[in-house]
Structure 1
Amino acid sequence: MSALLAEDLLNQMIPPLKSTDTTAKAARWLEEFHVNQLPVLADRSYRGLITINDLADYENPDTQLAELPLRYADTHVQHDQHFFRVMEIAIQNRIQLVPVLDEQNEYAGVVTVSDALAAFGPVPGPAGQGSILVLTMEERDYSLSQISRYVEENNAKILSAHVVTDEHDPYRIRLTLRLNTDNLARITATLERFGYLVSAQFSGTAAVSEDEQDRFDALLRYLNV
């Protein structure tokens, strides 16, 4: 199974703004492209995202974006990062699109949440029924058939799976699973008992804090767009 990387999901239809562009142009493009944010560049360097709320305090339509204190300057992913990282950044920051940087840390484009989810596959069944589980493990320990057996022993099924090399250890992998259940407690307990590390999960019942619940609610809203 090939990994879904940020560079594979770039949306070529959404253009960046330049720091020399005006607030009037930014407002017009936000409306024309039906987005809540747009990236702003200085040459090829990513400076941040502009939102409609950022423009509210600037009545002069000729104000250049370079004069605005842009947010999200550190909110981006590298071109070779897994789509799950794109989703994580989007959910944590509650943004609609995530800027992508290339090998030289220059702007390469954006990935929208809807594009990332479409590539991962539609979610069957009513909203709220389903979850995403991320495991990390030694590459030699990877066996999807074995993992599937543990999942099915807990009355669930794997709907889709994607594998990517761990960014910090070339001998480890990260496995992202979509499951047809929103109850992960028994599944995660079983997997951890057999030595798998659960590094992230999005589930309506598995959230252990208000922050985790907020992240899951945000994911469900994205799944319904």
Structure 2
Amino acid sequence: MPALLAEDLLNEMIPPLKGTDSAAKAARWLDEFHVGQLPVLDNRHYRGLVTEADLADFDDPNTLLSELPLGFADTYVRPDQHFYRVMELAIQNKIQLVPVVDAQHEYAGVVTISDALAAFGQQPAGGQGAIIVLTMEERDYSLSQISRYVEENNAKILHAHVAQDENDPYRVRLTLKLNTNNMASITATLERFGYVVTAQFNGTAALGEDEHERYDALLRYLSI
């Protein structure tokens, strides 16, 4: 099973920029690496993301990135955070990649949405399958029991990953990839037995417009 923590999903091919780099260099790298954002560092510390929109506001290609009012300074994950948090931040901020920053605020790298989903075995092109995230008391975790509930609804678990809940040391977060987009009955069954569904990514709108829009957003990131 592939690791699903941010530190295990770092993309070594996407480099950071420095404050001493020019707007022209930033524009060239955005084009070269086919991304809409790149991280900017002050020494080894993460300062923010430079975007195509940022560069459009400056006519002088020699403008230094240190002179630009960069956004997304608070948009990052820690190395030990789960890949779902990477996707959550990317969706909320409409970005293709999320910086990884350690406790000393030193830059470790970036995780792209496509890398995160590839590690989870997601096949977005066909829109087949759904992702569901559950939280529960650690003592209540039983993958065999959860698998039985899923199979009772004519579905199967393709991939599963369990991690400590970042907000509660006595709870765990379970991320499942299923072989179906029909999540309504599965969700109802799991909730009936006390599991908390914290997130769903589904290929259809059956679970509501919000879930459909969030899933579509992921597919748009992958197609850029």
TM-score of the superposition, structure 1-length normalised? 0.92
Deviations 1:67-119 (CA, angstroms, capped at 9, x unpaired):
11112111111111001111111122221111001131221110111211121
Unaligned 5+ runs, structure 2: none
Match of 2:180 in 1: 181
Aligned equivalents of 1:27, 1:94: Cα separation in 2: 19
How many residues end up aligned between the 2 structures? Answer: 223
Alpha carbons of 1:158 and 1:45: their partners in 2 closer, same or farther (altered >3 Å)?
same
Aligned equivalents of 1:96, 1:170: Cα separation in 2: 30
Aligned equivalents of 1:207, 1:99: Cα separation in 2: 31
Aligned equivalents of 1:8, 1:61: Cα separation in 2: 36
Aligned equivalents of 1:223, 1:42: Cα separation in 2: 29
Aligned equivalents of 2:67, 2:164: Cα separation in 1: 41
Aligned equivalents of 2:11, 2:138: Cα separation in 1: 31
SS of structure 1 residue aligned to 2:169: coil
Aligned equivalents of 2:114, 2:7: Cα separation in 1: 15
SS of structure 2 residue aligned to 1:78: coil
**In the TM superposition, what is the alpha-carbon distance from 1:207 to its structure 2 partner?**
4.1
Aligned equivalents of 2:35, 2:3: Cα separation in 1: 27
SS of structure 2 residue aligned to 1:176: strand
Aligned equivalents of 2:6, 2:129: Cα separation in 1: 23
Aligned equivalents of 1:9, 1:3: Cα separation in 2: 8
Match of 1:198 in 2: 197
Ranges of 4+ aligned residues in structure 1 off by more than 6 Å? none
Deviations 1:124-181 (CA, angstroms, capped at 9, x unpaired):
8x62331110000111111111101101111111111111100111121000001111
Aligned equivalents of 2:68, 2:122: Cα separation in 1: 38
| Partner amino acid, structure 1, of 2:50 | I
| Partner amino acid, structure 2, of 1:33 | F
Match of 2:113 in 1: 113
1:139 is the counterpart of 2:141 = no
| Partner amino acid, structure 2, of 1:9 | L
Match of 2:212 in 1: 213
Aligned equivalents of 1:40, 1:223: Cα separation in 2: 23
SS of structure 1 residue aligned to 2:133: strand
Match of 1:8 in 2: 8
Alpha carbons of 1:34 and 1:88: their partners in 2 closer, same or farther (altered >3 Å)?
same
Aligned equivalents of 1:3, 1:118: Cα separation in 2: 11
Match of 2:38 in 1: 38
Alpha carbons of 1:215 and 1:131: their partners in 2 closer, same or farther (altered >3 Å)?
same
Aligned equivalents of 2:11, 2:109: Cα separation in 1: 7
Alpha carbons of 1:155 and 1:129: their partners in 2 closer, same or farther (altered >3 Å)?
same
Q: What RMSD, in angstroms, separates the aligned Cα atoms of the two structures?
A: 1.8
Match of 1:148 in 2: 147
Aligned equivalents of 1:122, 1:191: Cα separation in 2: 22
